[in-house]
Amino acid sequence: MRFVRFLTHARTTLNRYLADGSTVAWQAHPAEELRKLHIVIGNESCDLDSAVSALTLAFIYSERSQEHDYVPVLNIPRRDYRLKTEVGHMLSKCGIAEAMLLFRDDLPNKFAKDVNVVLVDHHVSELAPHVVEILDHRPIDGANPKYMLLPQNCVRSIETDIGSCATIVGQRYLAVEQPRSPIVAQLLHATIVLDTVNFSATAKRFSPSDLVMVEQMERELSEGGQSDVGRRSELFNELVAARADISNLTLTEVLRKDMKIIQTERQQVPIAGMPILIRDFIELSGAEKALREFGIDSNLLVMLGMYVSPVDGTVQRDVGLISLAGQSQLVECVRLALVGCHEPSLDLRAHDVGSRFMGGCYLRQHNLRATRKHIQPVIKRALMEWEEIHGFGCNEVYFFKEKPKLGLS
Ligand SMILES: [Mn+2]
């Protein structure tokens, strides 16, 4: 129960660093104060990997370095926690209620200089200048300006072939004998099973390290008397069902459920990951209203659908692109980039029954192994190329129009 107790104390720990409990500023600390606050935070999708990695790593570190404070934070506003259905399911199964958790909006807007940040499951962050350590498994976004803001001496464990950040946290956990917690083992185990698609040979989302880690967690759990740990596929199905359970959500919430933003110099493009096919989503009554609400601030909406059959576990994926501003050329530009993508090829083809819903473009993705991680950089590149061609100001457009004439003279 040490782990649960740690979580319930996290808010008190955090409040010690806040001036009068204010959410605006950190307390000024005397310079000789050696005790430092470390915020351990996952990525903005707050999937099970991000949430579990942050919660467990903060606990492990706080037990090992008692001279400092470690506070886990889920990188979403509290109101969005209900969207993360598999996270809610797994945590409440382990006796962790929402009230025990800290969210992004529990943090002050401005970080004091001496607050340290540990990033898990991502490495590009607004908090870059504060980062002392990174545990991640996604491809390095080295060109990102926020990546370049990371301090030179921050410790980077970025292992791109690993299926789950929870595996890297598990390695830290097992490296030293203390602490041991059945809940930590259970959470890491479940996360790896889910992230690796239960070690599916077709999905190929795991490395040998993920498998070794899951086996080690199972050994630890069975020594602790939990006999049902071997039933990975039951656990996997349970988590997939929890993640896809959108029965209590509005359609706008479904769109926000697993959303990431691609940020370029001039555009913010949301990518909504959904637990149903986009082709099915757009058939639902109220879909158009929800899309307009969701995409109110952006030119382009990208939707990635993934449907896992509850019967046999087969996966289907599709992609939808809509421009609410009616920029069909931008949609076409991104479509061409996705269709032309070769590493990996997404193998995008038309749906059996086509749709021009809201003037958008909808394609089946036949390469089931390609995920948002692969798709996101392709879209970002397309947006940046688009901006290079179309994004300049009026004078430059004028100049461009005149240029052929100059060429003729
Ligand atoms: Mn992850």
Q: How many domains would you assign to the chain?
A: 2
Q: Is pLDDT of 396 > 80?
A: no
401 occurs within a structural domain = no
pLDDT per position as a tens digit, 320-351: 999 999 999 999 999 999 999 988 999 999 98
Q: Where is the domain boundary, 197, 219, 239?
A: 239
395 occurs within a structural domain = no
80 occurs within a structural domain = yes
- Rounded CA-CA distance 191/184 in Å is 11
β-pair partners for 322: 301
Q: Give me the CATH number covering residue 328.
A: 3.10.310.20
Q: Where is the domain boundary, 239, 257, 274?
A: 239
Whether residues 193 and 263 fall in one domain: no
Whether residues 193 and 281 fall in one domain: no
Whether residues 215 and 327 fall in one domain: no
User: What is the domain range of residue 300?
Assistant: 249-390
204 occurs within a structural domain = yes
pLDDT per position as a tens digit, 365-387: 999 989 998 999 999 999 999 99
Residue ranges near ligand 1 (ion) with Cβ within 5 Å: 49, 121, 165
Whether residues 258 and 217 fall in one domain: no
pLDDT band at 32 (very low <50, low <70, confident <90, very high): low
Task: Average the pLDDT over each of 33-37, 88-92, 216-220, 365-369 and give the range with the smallest value.
Answer: 33-37
Whether residues 193 and 316 fall in one domain: no
Whether residues 170 and 192 fall in one domain: yes
Q: What mean pLDDT value characterizes the chain?
A: 90
pLDDT at position 203 is: 82
Using the mean position of ligand 1's atoms as its centre, give its distance from the Cα of residue 164 in Å. Answer: 5
Contact, 126 vs 115, CB < 8 A? no
pLDDT band at 406 (very low <50, low <70, confident <90, very high): very low
Using the mean position of ligand 1's atoms as its centre, give its distance from the Cα of residue 137 in Å. Answer: 7
Using the mean position of ligand 1's atoms as its centre, give its distance from the Cα of residue 401 in Å. Answer: 47
pLDDT band at 28 (very low <50, low <70, confident <90, very high): low
Q: What percent of the chain has pLDDT over 70?
A: 91
Using the mean position of ligand 1's atoms as its centre, give its distance from the Cα of residue 193 in Å. Answer: 12
The pTM (predicted TM-score) of the whole model is 0.78
Using the mean position of ligand 1's atoms as its centre, give its distance from the Cα of residue 359 in Å. Answer: 33
Q: Where is the domain boundary, 189, 205, 239?
A: 239
Q: Give me the CATH number covering residue 16.
A: 3.90.1640.10
